[in-house]
Structure 1
């Protein structure tokens, strides 16, 4: 019987240098997309997938992230007293139950694989998810929920994947496909950021993973790659080398790279237009801006 996926690791130790000076005092993960921090989108997606235990791999300067998930009794009482029930419910959705959330420090920036390895004692001997909050995915059914359902059928490791332009493959981990079954592909190899023109496909890995505990054992054994970082891709590729199942999953939805300024702005427009209370006014503004820009050309 396959074990259910109930634990998720959120690697959030990065310094967010691409968003300086904002990230000098505000962790990137709580920068606001419309009216919710990036990390809240990841938490909501994880909850929808049945995740019960949330493990954050943090670093110095991330205390605001920890505070975000704490209760604020004074504010809750004031909202209750003022009859602002809708806001109160919104606030309560950000709270985490005692014991549901844990924080592990990554003392040195040694890569995504090392961040996951830091959580090994809390993960134990069961499958687990890894979610990168920088990757925000708009989907009718949340991406991780799609993956959990697929994993229940296949077992093994499952990585979220999407087609990218051939000239962009060098920015991603790329799958070497063994068998293409539509939404699922079996994988015979993974290459991290292949040089231009050498990628085995254009199917790139993005920030959602369901992994077996054997990947943690691989992280114990593999050597750091160039730059001294421990690559998660290498530990997953080791599963393939040992003859264990690894799958790529073409999720249904649109992914936004909120680790880049352009991607964050694109997500802001998409998520803003998706909100009924903002759609008309915000859409009209964008329409007028485009009209003015076209007229000026």
Structure 2
């Protein structure tokens, strides 16, 4: 079981804060540092000093780290055109020496689109655009050097693109898709994804979602293995008092957090991770909400990661 640290910088984090978390992630032995791709805070958090761009941040972290993988859960297809997105991700992959995983989704938070002047089409159109973006980005990365790439779709058209630059990873970074959708999401995952991620759902829902993707892979005749993963809010304490203090610091009710996330003592968290593993999860993204609490990361490394 691989454990990855997953952050939500739009809730309030400078680049310096993210750098300290990424370096701790690497030093403590976690597999990867991931971040959300959002431009507006959610809930009661201040959001200060303001948002940081996901791929600008990851490009900088690519030069400040040497081992951990880097990626997004999830880049919003509404934020960028697919051609420039393919260029940005390929460049960060080069800068990191081939350590990027590329998570992408439809985008869902309409308020951030309104706040920063980004068009927010209907859900159906967002899925259409996501599918075309996946086709284009993977097509650009997979085009042999010296050849050109063209695509004509409903929303995007490319003509005779040189399909450069190439990522460091042959064929491009692994593609992550996720969500609880019953039809379109499994179909797109079966076609494009190297990894399927289900965020913030309980065990029963996780089993159901994984099953739908497995069925979609079978129906598509896919033989390439799929990695299955989950993302969960994490809140750990050596004892009940420390756990409750950390839950309070992130504004969460300790009892409901225990039920809905990976929360409690290290033993409780190890046990629940094991249950996700029994469903086929090979990787868990630990959503860390208090980015100033590096002692929390140390506890997770020594008392959870080391037990796995």
* Larger relative contact order (Cα-Cα within 8 Å, sequence gap ≥ 6): 1
**Greater per-residue strand proportion:** 1
Looking at CA atoms only, which structure, 1 or 2, has the larger radius of gyration? 1
TM-score by length of 2: 0.27
TM-score by length of 1: 0.28
